[in-house]
Amino acid sequence: MSATIIDGKGLAQHMREALKNRVASFPNPPGLAVIIVGDNPASQVYVSNKEKACVAAGIHSEVIALPGETSELDLLDRIEKLNADPKIDGILVQLPLPKHLNSRRVLDSILPEKDVDGFHPSNVGALFLGNPGLQPCTPHGVMKMLEHENVEIRGKHAVIVGASNIVGKPMAVMLLHAGATVTICNSKTPDLGHHTRDADILVVAVGRPNIVTGDMVKEGAVVIDVGMNRLENGKLAGDVEFESAKMKAAKITPVPGGVGPMTIAMLLENTVEAAARKREEAV
Ligand code: GUN
């Protein structure tokens, strides 16, 4: 039987409408600053999509596009100004940064309460401990999708392929907190199929087309494809071979139209949440 296709685009749209109403109740709009360094074409598309989504939700948006040769000192200086700017509730530095910049130092310089990516060590630590904080957008969006699809997590085996700081590691912690038994694999794991075939919930976030094929999917599994790869023919593809995997899975996300739109919706939600927390503190 063919899987149900999880409509991330539809759910994200629904969430963005709800956020728009919440934003309208603020005396002044929440603000998001996005910094992009250099001219990576994929990053430019992502940043432009984030900006459009902000404007549509009524969020004040500032895009700071800096030349590829920007020094670390200049970038840190920009972030310091945004940290102190009362119009700005969220700051996002688009990754990857040019090689001469130390990403860790840059991300650590963002105030944790404005860190809408959830990449600052204090937000990472809060997630690890189960304390309140801002959570990384992509895995948070995946959790929302699973919840919306009424996917049972407690007692299930979740297998994550990919151990990045942006997706794989935080995804593992979120699923663990939700009661799953979690296995984390990566692109070098020998006999990857041995692990993936045992997954009730399979999350793939490696950035390599077809790393997971239908024969590596358990009958009735829920498959979440975080990959976003541009093929030689110009088409977008995920990490999962969709046609064969959908014949085995109970539910599966498409690419595009699955996880990607949810990431943006969660970024907007984090920005509004950061703004709400700041306003609560001020009362
Ligand atoms: N590059 C790819 N994904 C992300 C993300 O979630 N946040 C940032 N800042 N950069 C990215």
Q: Answer yes or no: 85 catalytic.
A: no
pLDDT tens-digit map of 208-259:
999 999 999 999 999 999 999 999 999 999 999 999 999 999 999 999 999 9
**Per-residue model confidence (pLDDT) at position 67:** 98
Which entry of 7, 94, 200, 246 is annotated as an active-site residue?
A: 94
Cα gap 219→62, rounded to integer Å: 46
CB neighbours of 44 closer than 8 A, spacing ≥ 6?
36
Which entry of 50, 156, 169, 246 is annotated as an active-site residue?
A: 50
- Name residue 194's amino acid: H
Ligand 1 pocket check for 137: Cβ under 6 Å: yes
**Per-residue model confidence (pLDDT) at position 280:** 85
Q: Answer yes or no: 50 catalytic.
A: yes
Do 64 and 91 touch, CB atoms closer than 8 A?
A: no
Ligand 1 pocket check for 110: Cβ under 6 Å: no
Q: Which residue puts its alpha carbon closest to atom 4 of ligand 1? A: 95
Cα gap 146→151, rounded to integer Å: 5
The stretches in the chain having pLDDT less than 70 are: 283
Domains in the chain, ordered, with CATH? 28-112 (3.40.50.10860), 136-260 (3.40.50.720)
Q: Model's pTM, two decimal places?
A: 0.97
C-beta neighbour count of 48 within 10 angstroms: 13
Residue 54 sits at φ, ψ, to 5 deg, of -60, -50
Do 252 and 5 touch, CB atoms closer than 8 A?
A: yes
- Ligand 1 centre distance from Cα of residue 96 (Å): 8
Ligand 1 pocket check for 94: Cβ under 6 Å: yes
Residue among 79, 166, 230 to mutate when testing ligand 1 (max atoms within 8 A of CB)? 166
- Ligand 1 centre distance from Cα of residue 175 (Å): 20
**Per-residue model confidence (pLDDT) at position 283:** 64
**Per-residue model confidence (pLDDT) at position 279:** 87
84 burial (CB, 10 Å; 0-12 / 13-18 / 19+) is exposed
Q: Considering all CA atoms of the chain, what is the largest pairwise distance in Å, rounded to the nearest integer? A: 56
Which entry of 115, 117, 200, 225 is annotated as an active-site residue?
A: 117
pLDDT tens-digit map of 186-207:
989 999 999 999 999 999 999 9
- Ligand 1 centre distance from Cα of residue 194 (Å): 30
- Ligand 1 centre distance from Cα of residue 94 (Å): 5
- Ligand 1 centre distance from Cα of residue 274 (Å): 18
Residue among 49, 51, 94 to mutate when testing ligand 1 (max atoms within 8 A of CB)? 94
Task: Look up residue 142 and give its two tokens.
Answer: 């995946």
Task: Looking at the CA of residue 92, tell me the nearest atom of ligand 1.
Answer: 9
Q: Is the dihedral of CA 181, 183, 184, 187 positive or negative?
A: negative
Ligand 1 pocket check for 115: Cβ under 6 Å: no
Closest CA to 264 of 6, 19, 5: 19
